[in-house]
Structure 1
Amino acid sequence: MKFLGSTFLVTISAVCGVWARTNFAGLTLSNSGNTGAYSCRTQDQWNAIARDTKNAGFGAIRILGFDCNSLDLASQAAANEGLQVMAGIYVDGTIASSIVQINNDVQTFRAAYGKYGAGRYLGLTVGNEVNDDPGNIMAKVYDVRGYLQSIGIFTPVSTVHTWVAIRSSPILCGADFVGANAHAFYDGGRQSFQAGDFVFKTVVPELKRVCPGKKVYITESGWPSRGGSFGAAIASTGDQRNALLNLNCACRDDTSVSVFAFEYDDQAWKSNDNERSFGVFGKYDLNGDVFAPC
């Protein structure tokens, strides 16, 4: 390789630099495009997302449901780019009211696992902030895990809840890993430049205290670019940039915790401007600006 000289070294340095600047483990995204009504993404759109995700240095994507054939489409796109997937079964309502859909989705995951392989999936989550008794949630998590293991699938299984719910109900720590959503914006007492400190100096120590020895995934953390303020937290594009920069640098300093940025693009179908505006692509240069300092 010596004969290639400095051109080869510069190329390698440039490629490594792009990856090194991104300290987030992954990126969470919706199954819908950024439209006024919830609308399913196409395979081409998933492929574009996967390319964007890889080019920005993320190693994984997280999906929150299997509607729109999204597990298969997202897995295919991820496979094309060498990304992993955190697969999420969505629970609408209680565990009991969603039992048929959950069981159907387990079979959907089984098929995807057979098609794309064990290495494609970081984990499987049953529910995202489910409004049900934690005991009911975890009973279904254990049921799903037991079934999958009985057929030779050992993908880690858990649920996702807010970090305060997990702190209040440590039973939610009981599966293969801890999945916690943690947004400094909704704490109300933090400004955007404190987003990373909030996650790693407030949230993570509490999760490690109540869930000792468990792998911790912060499955959502981000900042809105529009909408009303929440206490000291201001929603603006500049504040979103500052929050992501601070989170990215904080992720660099504690690699025992895997953080998923929230979220790929804005979601116009959601209920208010804060919720609609967490998208991070298309607002600034992630690699050249947000991730560059780290």
Structure 2
Amino acid sequence: MHYFKQLVTTLSLAITVVQAVTNFGGIAVSNSPSTPSYTCRSQAQWNDIANQARNNGFRSIRIIGFDCEALPRAASAAASAGLTVLAGIWVDGSMAQSAGNIRRDLDTFRAAYNQFGSGRFAGLTIGNEVGDSAVNIINKVNESRNFLRSVGVNTPVSTVHTWVFIRDNRVLCNADFVGANAHAFFDGNFAAEQTGDFVFKTVVPNLKSACPGREIRITESGWPTRGPANGRAVPGLDQARSALLNLNCACRDDRSVTVYAFEADDQIWKPENDWERSFGIFGKFNLNGEVFAPC
């Protein structure tokens, strides 16, 4: 019995060590599982995905919409797994066109904040790559933040856009943090094994120059496993493994930047193309053994 206890303790320590080399801050999770049509992830499915995130060393999950009761379900799952949530309000169209929905979702966030506590939420983003002017976007971010502050909610508030859009529209730096999506694959000039260099030697320096002194969060970065090549960027399982390994190691070298891996599972319901449908990570390879352990 004494030997068994020692063995369990040793194994637990080994697992802890493996998880400790996960340098990603979090992982993005869709509100739908990988189904042919968009369906709502159940509470049990949220619990499962949060546990997978925790077991693979991630400390946070990111959502980008509150449909499907995603916010309370994700927050509940995160609370059970000891994770935080980077919550996102989905904006369809312009900020003006979505004003009513944004106001409703702010009330939803306020309720979740009161239920799960301030420490459960790493931040709140208003929109993801919204097709509107930078001025309109930041005005809505500020309006939303002011409302939340007036009702006692102190969660950092920002928006998320492509890193190039932020670089070229520095007014977006005037949020509580800079939320940028940065995919080496869509640039087309980088191979999978250069993903970390792309993020930390191209994207991050540009954002730090555009937004000096601001906290930077790379809200999604990953690599697809299916579809045609995009210049030097070639989809594939081996390529995705290489991209995540390289990015994980690069994250280790700049702890001031939090990176969310994209994304938990494939989203085969997406209508765009095989690229968009195949960014999923879980179940494709052993993260702790094949991606995180080398660092």
TM over 0.5: yes
Aligned to 1:291: 292
2-structure distance, mates of 1:29, 1:93: 22
Aligned to 2:140: 140
2-structure distance, mates of 1:127, 1:80: 27
CA-to-partner distance for each residue in 1:87-146, whole Å, 9 max, x for gaps? Answer: 000001100110000000000000000000000000000000000011001001000100
Normalised TM-score (structure 1): 0.97
> How many Å apart are 1:18 and its aligned residue?
2.3
In structure 2, give the amino acid aligned to 1:212.
P
Aligned to 1:208: 208
In structure 2, give the amino acid aligned to 1:180.
A
> How many Å apart are 1:7 and its aligned residue?
4.2
Higher deviation after alignment, 268-277 or 12-21:
12-21
1:267 aligns with 2:267: yes
CA-to-partner distance for each residue in 1:166-193, whole Å, 9 max, x for gaps? Answer: 0000011111000000000011100000
CA-to-partner distance for each residue in 1:3-29, whole Å, 9 max, x for gaps? Answer: 999647623531321221210000001
Change (3 A) 1:6 1:33: closer
1:57 aligns with 2:73: no
In structure 1, give the amino acid aligned to 2:281.
V
CA-to-partner distance for each residue in 1:251-272, whole Å, 9 max, x for gaps? Answer: 0111110000000000001121
> How many Å apart are 1:36 and its aligned residue?
1.2
User: Where in structure 2 are the equivalents of 1:241-260 lying within 5 Å?
Assistant: 241-260=241-260
In structure 2, give the amino acid aligned to 1:278.
F
2-structure distance, mates of 1:202, 1:187: 11
2-structure distance, mates of 1:48, 1:138: 35
Aligned to 1:107: 107
> How many Å apart are 1:151 and its aligned residue?
1.3
Normalised TM-score (structure 2): 0.97
CA-to-partner distance for each residue in 1:217-250, whole Å, 9 max, x for gaps? Answer: 0000000000011100000111000000000000
Change (3 A) 1:5 1:266: closer
2-structure distance, mates of 1:137, 1:22: 33
In structure 2, give the amino acid aligned to 1:33.
P
Aligned to 2:181: 181
Change (3 A) 1:7 1:154: same
After superposition, the CA RMSD in angstroms is 1.5
1:165 aligns with 2:168: no
Give the total of aligned pairs.
293
2-structure distance, mates of 1:156, 1:220: 18
Aligned to 1:15: 15
Higher deviation after alignment, 11-20 or 215-224:
11-20
Structure 2's unaligned 5+ residue stretches are none
Higher deviation after alignment, 195-204 or 5-14:
5-14
> How many Å apart are 1:30 and its aligned residue?
0.7
Aligned to 2:95: 95
In structure 2, give the amino acid aligned to 1:279.
G
Structure 1's unaligned 5+ residue stretches are none
User: Where in structure 2 are the equivalents of 1:62-101 lying within 5 Å?
Assistant: 62-101=62-101
CA-to-partner distance for each residue in 1:55-94, whole Å, 9 max, x for gaps? Answer: 0000000000000000000000000011000000000110
Give me the identity figure in percent: 58
SS of residue in 2 equivalent to 1:259: strand
1:278 aligns with 2:276: no
2-structure distance, mates of 1:50, 1:133: 35
2-structure distance, mates of 1:198, 1:122: 25
2-structure distance, mates of 1:250, 1:197: 7
In structure 2, give the amino acid aligned to 1:71.
L
2-structure distance, mates of 1:4, 1:101: 55
